[in-house]
């Protein structure tokens, strides 16, 4: 089902559906060799024994990722897609067929309803209406709203505001009594610090007076106070337990990936692996580098399940921000939301997060706002009680730091060795007598 040239292909988030003829359908996405995401769906006509995949409704631009799908009253499938162009509008397309689903084709896509580049939920109601929930804002993840459509998604009503505060992902379902239930992320300061389940009627969505019954379920990030000191103790205790191997995931963009700029010498991730698995004799530990050249914080979030969660990590190292800074200071608030969400998702896995600041760079006109993005990482590390691997501060103190660069941005072999040592110190495994800790600038 997966094309060999694609980087990944997976279903979700959100629910699958069963069509009236028994066909199973799940919204999905894939990334081609260049890394661009495309929404699609997978389906099975034999109760899951065999699966096929649709084409992408938007094969070129804009890129789309997390999608929801529902069967309309006329039998067609309506897909609602997260629009990665950050235009502030949701992407939509319809899959229609005459004989079998395999013979279908996509309609011309269209863009409608405000959306801050976020996952959303789309379901059909037994009474024929379609229901859609998302944070109804073009930029911020706020104002969770539920809307209905009586014409198969061509138009939507004004909707009802479910939660005026910060909110993010949602998943709706129709309950046995015909009422609607929605589980959604929300919070007072963060859009993902709390899970809330709410129940309401279709009439309420359509404007009739009625009652919404919310049930709030705080998750760990809401009730637990995290500190760098506590996380260091966790790491120290895990390292001391030689009988239990650890999984370390290092993710980020081109600096974390370390490709093409070290001239065959090891990157900081590879130095880290040597320090852990060889020098500390933790031979069964797994060190995974899932960083991707050119990626931003949003790319990691969109690909979090594949790059981080599926590995069931004990520690997650996040080094991102340079390519975010190329989008300008107007993206600072969005970047802060992404970094905070990465921390919360890592905590939700039961893993310890590490936040890295970037190395210093030679100003090139494109990344001039990088210091402001570094400040965001430093601030969120402090606010969220996260261990900070502060490369920026270390490099600023070194007169020869420009000699640690392969170009205006990316570290060379010396720079990666220096970043490795900053990481070692941050988690308490630096030893000046060890070979990897003696690498770098002299």
The predicted structure's pLDDT at residue 14: 82
CA gap 189, 185 in Å, rounded: 12
The topology (CATH level 3) of 228-438 is Rossmann fold (3.40.50)
Pairing of strands 24-31, 17-18: antiparallel
Tokens 């930029």, located at residue = 139
State the pLDDT confidence band at 280, using cuts at 50, 70 and 90.
Answer: very high
Of 219-223, 321-325, 350-354, 370-374, the range with the lowest mean pLDDT is 219-223
Contact predicate 316/249, CB 8 Å: yes
Is the pTM higher than 0.85? The answer reads no
Q: Which helix (H) or strand (E) holds 209?
A: none
CA 13 to CA 171: how far, in whole Å?
A: 9
Domain ranges of the chain: 1-105, 116-221, 228-438
Give all strands (DSSP E) within 296-433, no chain letters.
315-319, 352-357, 387-390
> 37 near 63, Cβ under 8 Å?
yes
Average pLDDT over residues 320-338: 90
412-413-417 Cα angle (round to 5): 115
Do 167 and 156 meet the contact criterion of CB atoms below 8 Å apart? Answer: no
pLDDT tens-digit map of 124-164: 999 999 999 999 999 999 999 999 999 999 999 988 999 98
Provide the percentage of residues in the chain whose pLDDT is more than 90.
Answer: 76
pLDDT of the residue at 325: 94
DSSP states along 119-138: --EEEE-TTS-EEEEEE--S
pLDDT digits (tens, 9 = 90+) for 57-112: 998 889 999 999 999 999 999 999 999 998 999 999 999 999 999 999 999 999 99
Tell me the C-alpha distance between 356 and 381, whole Å.
Answer: 9
d(CA 46, CA 26): 14
Q: Residue length, the chain? A: 442
**Which two structure tokens, joined as six digits, stand for 158?**
């004004």
Inter-residue contact 314 to 349 (CB < 8 Å): no
Q: Taking residues 315-337, report their average pLDDT.
A: 92
The three-state secondary structure class of 383 is helix
């Amino acid at each position: 089902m997966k094309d060999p040239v694609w980087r990944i292909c997976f279903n979700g988030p959100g629910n699958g559906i069963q069509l009236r003829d028994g066909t199973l359908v799940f919204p999905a996405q894939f990334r081609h060799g260049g890394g661009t995401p495309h929404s699609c769906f997978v389906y099975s006509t034999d109760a899951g024994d065999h699966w096929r995949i649709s084409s992408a409704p938007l094969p070129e631009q804009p890129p789309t990722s997390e999608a929801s799908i529902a069967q309309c009253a006329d039998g067609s499938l309506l897909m609602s897609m997260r629009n990665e162009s950050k235009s502030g509008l949701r992407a939509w397309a319809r899959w229609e067929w005459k004989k079998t689903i395999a013979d279908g084709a996509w309609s011309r896509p269209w863009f409608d309803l405000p959306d801050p580049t976020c996952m959303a939920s789309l379901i059909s109601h037994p009474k024929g209406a379609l229901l859609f929930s998302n944070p109804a804002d073009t930029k911020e993840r706020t104002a969770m709203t539920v809307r209905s459509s009586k014409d198969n998604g061509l138009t939507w009503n004004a909707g009802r505001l479910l939660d005026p505060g910060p909110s993010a992902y949602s998943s709706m379902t129709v309950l046995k009594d015909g009422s609607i239930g929605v589980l959604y992320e929300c919070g007072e300061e963060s859009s993902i610090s709390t899970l809330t389940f709410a129940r309401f009627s279709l009439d309420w969505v359509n404007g009739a007076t009625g009652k919404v019954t919310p049930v709030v379920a705080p998750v760990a990030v809401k009730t637990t106070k995290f500190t760098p000191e506590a996380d260091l103790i966790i790491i120290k205790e895990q390292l001391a337990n030689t009988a239990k191997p650890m999984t370390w995931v290092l993710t980020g963009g081109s600096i974390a990936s370390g490709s093409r700029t070290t001239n065959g010498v090891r990157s900081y991730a590879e130095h880290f692996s040597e320090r852990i698995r060889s020098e500390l004799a933790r031979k069964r530990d797994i060190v995974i580098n899932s960083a991707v050249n050119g990626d931003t914080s949003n790319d990691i979030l969109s690909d979090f399940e594949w790059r981080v969660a599926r590995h069931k990590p004990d520690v997650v190292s996040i080094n991102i921000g340079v390519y975010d800074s190329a989008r300008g200071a107007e993206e600072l608030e969005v970047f802060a939301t992404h970094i905070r969400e990465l921390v919360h998702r890592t905590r939700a896995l039961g893993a310890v997060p590490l936040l890295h600041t970037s190395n210093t760079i030679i100003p090139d006109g494109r990344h001039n706002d990088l210091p402001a993005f570094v400040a965001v990482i430093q601030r969120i590390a402090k606010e969220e009680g996260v261990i900070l691997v502060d490369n920026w501060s270390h490099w600023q103190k070194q007169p020869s730091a420009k000699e640690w660069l392969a170009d205006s941005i990316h570290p060379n072999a010396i720079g990666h060795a220096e970043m490795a040592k900053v990481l070692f110190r941050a988690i308490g495994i630096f030893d000046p007598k060890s070979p990897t800790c003696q690498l770098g600038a002299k």
